[in-house]
Each structure stands twice: as C-alpha cells, then as structure tokens.
Amino acid sequence: MSRIGRKPIPIKSGLKISLDKNRIFVEGPKGKLSCNICNGITVKQQDNSIMVGRENDSKYLKQQHGLIRVLIANMVEGVVNGFKRELEIIGVGYKAQMKGRNLVLQVGFSHPVEITPPENIKVSVPAATRIVIEGIDKQRVGEFAAKIRSVCPPEPYKGKGIRFVGEYVRKKLGKAMAK
C-alpha cells in the first residue's frame, strides 16, 4: 500500500468538506477548491481527518492513490494558509513593476513584457527586483511562477535573468577560461 496514500489528512477547524460521487469540495477562510476523484479511489471523512483508499492493487490505482491524497492535502492547506512563491530578478537594468493588475517586466528586451495573472492569483512587487506570487491553489501558483521565470530564465555565464529565491544557477567558464 502507498505510504503517502494511507496517511490521514487532518481537518483543521473552520473547514467545510463535502464529498460528491466523484468530486471533493473544500471550503475555508481563504476560498473554495474542488478536485475530481477517479473511479476506484475512495475518500472517507472520519472524525477530524480524511482517509483515501483504493479498491484493488492495479498499477493505475496505485499511481492515483498517493496523488489524490496529496492533491486533497494541498487543497486543505491552500484554503487555510495559502501558498506563496518568490522570484528574484538579477541583472543590470532588470526590474519589475505592477501596472494596474498586470505585471510589467523589463528584462533586457527592446520592449517591456506585460503578463496578466490568472484569477485568484495575487502578484505583488515589494522591491524592483523581487516578485511575490500568492494564491490558494498550489498548482496555479507554481505554473504562474514558472511562466514568469520562462520570460528570461537565468543564463549560465553571468547568471542574469529571473530565478526562484534560493535557486542555485551553476555558472560556466567563459571562452577564455575553456582552454
């Protein structure tokens, strides 16, 4: 049995969880999320926890067992605390700013790059070289952060570009040092 899948998901106070036939809905102080549950996976609410199980030991259900449990745990965490990703911009003249709801990046192109965040995602720029992305859906927050990073990923020679806070960029030697 899956080690991750058999762990119970604790339900914190203030959460409202409803189970439908193939769907689970989680509502908390920060918002409301839902997730589809594939056939063969069972979700039960016991006391102050949620248990995820499977009907048989087929390869597909083994794969889905841990996945569904982690998705539900992320939904519970998101509606209670939310998720946050931080990006930093490195390079001379590189900066970010908010223009209304849109994020405007100036990262060495001849024009500024304007990105509109999706619904339920909050973007803030506390400093010109720092971007903070917050939301209740872990997947959407991560995808939007990756989209911003893909505008100008860090290059390996000088390290200029947009990177996650704490990300290590391995630098290459230049042409003169390669001999």
Q: What is the pLDDT of residue 137?
A: 95
Domains of the chain, by residue range, sit at 9-80, 83-164
Pairwise CA distance, residues 82 & 53, whole Å: 26
Token digits for 133? Answer: 């992305």
Q: Do the beta carbons of residue 80 and residue 12 sit within 8 Å?
A: yes
Q: What is the CATH number of domain 9-80?
A: 3.90.930.12
Q: Which CATH class is domain 83-164?
A: alpha beta
Q: What is the pLDDT of residue 122?
A: 95
Residue type for 159, please? Answer: G
Q: What is the pLDDT of residue 4?
A: 84
What is the full per-residue pLDDT of the chain (179 aa) written as tens digits?
458 888 999 998 889 999 988 899 999 999 999 999 999 999 999 889 999 999 998 999 988 999 999 999 999 999 999 999 999 999 999 999 999 999 999 998 999 999 999 989 999 999 999 999 999 999 999 999 999 999 999 999 998 999 999 999 999 887 776 55
> What pTM does this model have?
0.89
